[in-house]
Amino acid sequence: MKMLLRTLTFCAALGAVDLAVAAELSLAANTTGKNVHFMREQLDLFEKQTGHKVNLVTMPPSSSEQFSQYRLWLAAENKDVDVYQTDVIWAPQLADQFVDLTEAAKDVVGDYFPSIIQSQTVNGRLVALPLFTDAPALYYRKDLLEKYSKTAPKTWDELAATAKEIQEKERAAGNADIWGFVFQANAYEGLTCNALEWIKSSGGGQIVEPDGTISVNNEKAAAAIDRVKEWIGTIAPEGVLAYQEEESRGVWQTGNAVFMRNWPYAYALGNGDDSAVKGKFDVAPLPTASEGEKPSSTLGGWNLAVSKYSDEQEAAIELVKFLSSKEVQKQRALQLSQLPTLAALYDDAEIAAAQPFMPSWKPIFQSAVPRPSAVAKVKYNEVSSKFWSAVHNTLSGDGTAAENLELLEVELTELKGDSW
């Protein structure tokens, strides 16, 4: 059990001593970008305001590794972590391990986007409060597109053609390290997000449909993955097969990519003083298979949940409400370019001035495609793992997309059994 920190407040005027009891909390959070530095600043402010102490437990940037560690801790009824930063897709899988926040959040729940609250509500229990939402976009070098009289591509084929042309011309001019396009193709949850976008924007469905139907084994889905396979080693480096978000950003931010698919957090970092692309890029919706189709960005986002094994649940809920508050979300938007989950902040003049892309990102995430976590429930992690493995095998040259998706359908059918 954690030690309680006791703080003595001396009231000289009254000649009395007021003994207040503060809790020691631990928060598990991810390490992407500058998230840790920002989180620590906010926790210091929370400590000053409340007298509580908060230890920050930093997690690996891979959401898949993070989820695996969370499951181990929660299965062991670990009391050492009070608050978990959770991915939007984890609610159905971890709901039973978290405190119901419905009553505690009743005064603020109406301020959040309803779809995000719904994503964190399982069997009538609100198991996490939204921290920030997420939907990826296409980052592009506006200086290079202007140089070669190009516009932001609307289709995947247009992206590939533009990337190839600029890559070749830049290399001929002496820029030997530049690539056309970087994204996330490592075998992890990020590849599920990327591949879902390729397939959905090509009319190939969304792996498992909302009614539970396994739809992934179809010609349009196979064609979408085959299209990307052609990019490996041509407009994208072979190493992209091992890239997660930060590896992609590393290539992009050093000025060595024409296009990048990434989340909003990379925007503020790309405009940092240490960035080679500061002021040289912009963002657009992700392309589609054919012009006129609706772009598909995977719905992402992170939330905060309180462990039911915590001995400090009241203080933990206080921390969750603080970190998901309007004030902290505004600072998160200003400093980290992460999208608020509160509708009112999209009309905030200060945010619009500091992050001019943000108001235009609102429709991107509002029409974002969800991963099939709600329908697959506790089986989602296995669904995603099998899906990203099939896609990664194809991109690596181990079987065709049609072959791997046919095998995937068999595996998912077996996993589903009588029902999800």
Average pLDDT over residues 183-209: 97
DSSP letters for 14-54? TTEEEEEEE-EEEEEE--STTHHHHHHHHHHHHHHHH--EE
Q: Is the pLDDT assigned to residue 12 strictly greater than 80?
A: no
Tens digits of per-residue pLDDT, 43-85?
Answer: 999 999 999 999 999 998 888 899 999 999 999 999 999 999 9
Query: What pLDDT is recorded for position 131?
Result: 96
* Residue-level pLDDT at 402: 98
Confidence (pLDDT) at 20: 52
Average pLDDT score over the chain: 92
Q: What is the per-residue pLDDT for 34?
A: 86
The fraction of the chain above a pLDDT of 90, given in percent, is 85
**What is residue 353's predicted lDDT score, i.e. its pLDDT?**
93
- Long-range (24+ apart) CB contacts under 8 A made by 107-116 are 108/321, 108/324, 108/325, 111/326, 111/342, 111/343, 111/344, 112/341, 112/342, 112/343, 113/341, 113/342, 113/343, 113/366, 115/366, 116/88, 116/301, 116/341
pLDDT confidence band for 199 (50 / 70 / 90): very high
Confidence band for 101, pLDDT divided at 50, 70 and 90 = very high
* Burial profile 132-166: b = 16 or more Cβ within 10 angstroms, e = fewer: bbbbbbbbbbbebbeeeebebbbbbebbbebbbeb
Over residues 13-20, mean pLDDT: 36
pLDDT value of residue 211: 93
Residue of 357 and 329 predicted with greater confidence: 329
| Structure-block tokens of residue 160 | 């590939």
Segment 278-302 shows an average pLDDT of 92
Is the pLDDT confidence value at 11 over 60? Answer: no
User: pLDDT-derived band of residue 2, with 50, 70 and 90 as boundaries?
Assistant: low
d(CA 117, CA 31): 24
Confidence of residue 365 (pLDDT cuts 50, 70, 90): confident
pLDDT greater than 80 at residue 416: yes
Give, for 91, the enclosing helix (H) or strand (E).
helix 91-94
**pLDDT score recorded for residue 32:** 78
Please state the rounded mean pLDDT for residues 256-273. 95
Q: What is the pLDDT of residue 83?
A: 98
pLDDT over 70 at 19, yes or no: no
